[in-house]
Chains A and B, each alone.
Chain A
Amino acid sequence: MDDALILVEDLCRYYEVGGETVRALDGVSFAIERGEWVAIVGQSGSGKSTLMNLIGCLDTPSSGSYRLNGADVQGLADDALADLRNKEIGFVFQTFQLLPRATALANVELPLVYRGVSRRERRDRAEAALAAVGLTNRMHHRPNELSGGQRQRVAIARALVGEPSLLLADEPTGNLDSSTGEEIIRLFDDLHRRGHTILLVTHEPRLAARCPRAIRLTDGRVVGDGPGAEVATLTAARVVHA
């Protein structure tokens, strides 16, 4: 268990809202090995966004422990968290979150800028990352000159360019039509087969069913953890029962 990429134990995250304590995450534990493709699935308000922020080192837990790639994230200073995000995590967002005034290439170079990579190496690696997602001929376009699917590919190239140990995707198909979404999922499938560790946060059971493993959250607790198809079915059944 010690060589798990992600090791989460009794993780809690509380918010104070209007004098009341909201338990967004209430004692979550699991481990994710290198090379796994795992879906975090749950309805809105289930705590999956909170969990993603914690795993993405964007937020710190109220209690519990989180180890990423052998390093204890607990109690790290802000700068250290920033460096950890830069090195270990590649984010893919629902709304792409590309910088509108920068070209695809400049967007993909950005994580390397913050890592202090020289200009030439930055360019080479960004071009390679864009080629890997099939956008060689779109490198000098701005986001508003690209289709939704192409934008998400740029975002995936940006997530991969720094060779992070974890790809963290938050509803990556949420803003895409179904056929484009399918392309993106196939791209993840491909990346998984090439050995990337992928954590996919989604509310869609259909998507979670495609993943080899899924973790289901309800009210800040883990209520299911197993093969994607099973957990997704269980989820669907619950939705039907409800």
Chain B
Amino acid sequence: MRRLRRGLVRAASEISEGVRIALANLVGARLRSFLTTLGIVIGVMTVIAIVAIIQGLNASFESQISTLGAGTVYVSKFGWFVAGRDAWWEMRNRKDLGRRELEAIQREALHASAIAPMAMTRGPVTRAEKEVSSVQIIGTNAQYLETGAGSVAAGRFLAEIDVDLSRNTVVLGAELVDRLFPGATAEGALGKKVVVNGIPFTVVGTIGRRGQLLGMNMDANVIVPYTTFLRDLGGKRSLNIAVAAAPEDLPALEDELVGILRRVRQVPPDKKDDFALNRQEQFLKVYRQLTGALYGVAIGVGMITLVVGGIGIMNIMLVSVTERTREIGVRRALGARRRTILLQFLIESSVVAALGGAVGTALGLGVAQLVALLTPLAAAATPSAVALGIGFSAGVGLLFGSWPAWRAARLDPVEALRYE
């Protein structure tokens, strides 16, 4: 027990002595320590900044994409991600989706919690002398909001009766309220007349602000009953149909939709689907592939810089071992074992590198914050990135410090004491 205790005390005091010596040398040669760790600082800074920016992008992208509705399947003629010209032409030549498909889904889709058609076009919206051009005009039904399309800010949304009677009622997006009724509250727009693509409509409600989705303004739109849309604004367009379900029901819903659509559209069993089921997950998947590649590049660059930084540390440690040859001799004469010397120099190189890593992490986070302030990009730092930055550089110090430390430990005490 006594021996073990002594051994532990000895190991602890050797380690604390090592850290003390390392810090003393660091302070004793500030400029050199700074230059030594510059490589590590830059490497860690680059990686941390890039990772923070990518993580910030991820967070903002995921919050944007969630406005699409996580539990919604969008039935369309076109898939969102088209691979090549031939696929695009194949989609282009498909039959349009129309009321028949909508009604079949409404009749037969048991897993659906909400079903909303979406007929879309662009056109001007005017009120008196004010005009907003190229507004997204959406024709839909009362269930549209339940597919994850925002919420009412003032008044009401479209009701079944608006759809059944093909009324000229309209719900305005937040930006339309701002631009057609400047200075007024959302309530101020209610009951007023606006002209959508040449047709007069009465405002019954407004939608709360939704922000942007992938650069698309989600607030510059107006929503009208799809029946009115098809009658007055263009009946020849293919419908999109948004079908919502509880997340656990989504796979069953998709199976169901495929069956319904194939039957209604009379797709022979040996042919592929002539429609597409789109989900927000597809965006996430493509996006993750993209940022995964970015991550790879960032980590590659960071690795190269860390290796360069590590070589810098190795160089300076070799110089340090030579300069302190006599010190090593004295320590050996006083009873330091080889592994004690080894440990001392390993601690020194990893402390230097870890401090460089800490500085680099701080700078990297600073750069990321700066980027977040000056550009639309977001930045987020996770504690794991910080721990990784510091831990990794300490590891680099350990790795590249091991050869100099081994050389120090191998010195012959007699020679070392005599070294001039």
Residues in A with CB closer than 8 Å to B6 are 115-116
Q: Which residues of B contact A87 (CB under 8 A)?
A: 335
A114 pairs with B24, CB closer than 8 A: no
Bound-state Cα–Cα, A102 to B324, Å: 14
Check B327–A99 contact: CB distance below 8 A.
yes
- Judge if A59 is at the interface, Cβ distance under 8 Å: yes
Q: How far does the Cβ of B21 sit from chain A's closest Cβ, in whole Å?
A: 8
B413: CB under 8 A from chain A?
Answer: yes
Contact B337 A116 (CB under 8 A): no
Closest to B14 in A: A113
Decide: B332 and A97 in contact? CB cutoff 8 A.
no
Selected from B327, B336, B414, B417, the residue in CB contact (under 8 A) with A93 is B417
Pair B414/A53 contact, Cβ less than 8 Å: yes
- Is B334 at the interface (CB under 8 A from chain A)? yes
Q: Is A42 an interface position by the 8 A CB rule?
A: no
Task: Identify which of A56, A99, A114 contacts B10 (C-beta below 8 A).
Answer: A114
Complex Cα gap A118–B13 (Å):
8
Which of A78, A91, A122 has a CB less than 8 Å from the CB of B334?
A: A91
Partner of A111, one of B28, B329, B335: B335
B32 smallest CB distance to A (angstroms):
14
Binary flags per residue of A74-113, CB closer than 8 Å to B gives 1, else 0: 0000110011011100010100011101100000001101
Near A by CB (< 8 A), chain B positions 385-420 give 413-414, 417
Q: Is A117 an interface residue (CB 8 A)?
A: yes
Contact A86 B334 (CB under 8 A): yes
Q: How far is B42's CA from A184's CA once the two chains are assembled, in angstroms?
A: 53
Determine whether the beta carbon of B334 is less than 8 Å from that of A116: no
B335 touching A114, Cβ below 8 Å = yes
Question: Which listed residue (B9, B17, B28, B335) contacts A82, Cβ 8 A?
Answer: B335
**Across the interface, which residues of A come within 8 angstroms of B334, CB to CB?**
85-86, 91, 110-111, 114, 158
With contact pairs A56-B333, A82-B336, A82-B337 given, residues A116 and B28 touching in the complex (Cβ less than 8 Å): no
Query: Contact between A115 and B414 (Cβ–Cβ < 8 Å)?
Result: no
In the complex, how many angstroms separate the beta carbon of B10 from the nearest chain A beta carbon?
3
B336 touches A101 (CB 8 A): no
Task: Determine whether the beta carbon of A114 is less than 8 Å from that of B417.
Answer: no
> Is the CB of B331 closer than 8 A to any CB of chain A?
yes
Q: Is A119 an interface residue (CB 8 A)?
A: yes
B339: chain A residues within 8 A (beta carbon): 79
Known: A78-B337, A110-B334. A58 touches B413 (CB 8 A): yes
B340 & A114 in contact (Cβ 8 Å cutoff): yes
Q: How far is the CA of A59 from the CA of B416 in the complex (A)?
A: 12
Q: CA separation between A162 and B326, bound complex, in Å?
A: 21
Cβ-defined contact, B333 with A118, below 8 A: no
Chain B hits for A119, CB < 8 A? 13
- B residues 326-353 near A (Cβ < 8 Å) are 326-327, 329-340
Within the complex, the shortest CB–CB distance from B180 to chain A, in Å, comes to: 76
Contact among B8, B11, B28, B417 for A58, CB-based, below 8 A: B417
* Interface positions of B from 255 to 300, Cβ below 8 Å from A: none
Which A114-144 residues sit within 8 Å CB-CB of chain B? 114-119, 122
Interface residue B25 (Cβ < 8 Å from any Cβ of A): yes
- Cα distance A58–B417 when bound, in Å? 10
How many Å lie between the Cα of A101 and that of B337 in the bound state? 21
Question: How far in angstroms is the closest Cβ of chain A from B404?
Answer: 19
Q: How far is the CA of A58 from the CA of B336 in the complex (A)?
A: 12
- Given the known interface contacts A82-B332, A85-B334, A97-B326, the answer about A58 and B414 at a Cβ–Cβ threshold of 8 Å is yes
- Closest A residue to B24 by CB, please name it: A101
> Which of B7, B14, B333 lies at the interface centre, i.e. has the most chain A CB atoms within 10 A of its CB?
B333
CB interface residues, B 27-82, toward A, < 8 Å:
28
CB neighbours (8 Å) of A56 from chain B are 333
- The answer to whether A97 and B25 touch across the interface, beta carbons within 8 angstroms, is no
Contact B25 A79 (CB under 8 A): no
Chain B: minimal CB distance from A93 (Å):
7
- On whether the beta carbons of A58 and B13 are closer than 8 Å, the reply is no
Report how far A98 CA is from B14 CA in the complex, Å: 18
Contact residues in A for B7 (Cβ distance below 8 Å): 116
Contacting B at CB under 8 A, from A27-85, are: 53, 56, 58-59, 78-79, 82-83, 85
Task: Tell me the complex Cα distance, A116–B28, Å.
Answer: 27
> Inside 8 A of A114's CB, which chain B residues have their CB?
10, 14, 331, 334-337, 340
Across-interface contacts of B329 in A (CB, < 8 A): 97
CB distance from A194 to the nearest CB of B (A): 22
Task: Assess whether B9 is in contact with A118, with CB atoms less than 8 Å apart.
Answer: yes
CA distance A116 to B334 in the complex (A): 13
B333 and A91 contacting across the interface, CB-CB below 8 Å = yes
Are A117 and B337 in contact, with the CB atoms below 8 A?
A: no
CB-based contact A117/B9 at 8 Å? yes
Please indicate the chain A residues that have their CB under 8 angstroms from the CB of B327 in the complex. 99
Scoring B8, B339, B413 by chain A CB atoms within 10 A of each residue's CB, the highest score goes to B413
Q: CB < 8 Å: which of A78, A101, A118 contacts B338? A: A78
> Please, which residue of chain B has its CB at the minimum distance from the CB of A162?
B335
Q: Which residues of B contact A53 (CB under 8 A)?
A: 414
Compute how far the CA of A110 lies from the CA of B333 in the bound complex, rounded to whole angstroms: 11
Contact call B330/A97, Cβ cutoff below 8 A: yes
Q: Taking the nearest CB of chain B, how far is it from the CB of A109, in angstroms?
A: 9
A121 CB, min distance to chain B CBs, angstroms: 10
B239 to chain A, nearest CB (A): 80
A78, A113, A115: residue with the most chain B Cβ atoms closer than 10 Å: A113
> Other than the known A86-B335, A101-B25, A158-B334, what 7 A-B pairs have Cβ atoms closer than 8 Å?
A56-B333, A58-B417, A79-B339, A87-B335, A93-B417, A101-B28, A116-B11
* 9 pairs of A and B residues whose beta carbons are closest in the complex: A86-B335, A116-B10, A114-B335, A116-B6, A116-B9, A82-B337, A97-B330, A111-B334, A58-B413
Interfacial residues, chain A to chain B (CB-CB below 8 A):
53, 56, 58-59, 78-79, 82-83, 85-87, 91, 93, 97-99, 101-102, 110-111, 113-119, 122, 158, 162
Q: List 20 contacting pairs A-B, 8 Å CB cutoff, sorted by A.
A: A58-B414, A79-B338, A82-B335, A82-B337, A82-B340, A83-B337, A85-B334, A97-B417, A102-B24, A110-B334, A113-B14, A113-B17, A114-B14, A114-B331, A114-B334, A114-B337, A116-B6, A116-B8, A122-B13, A158-B334
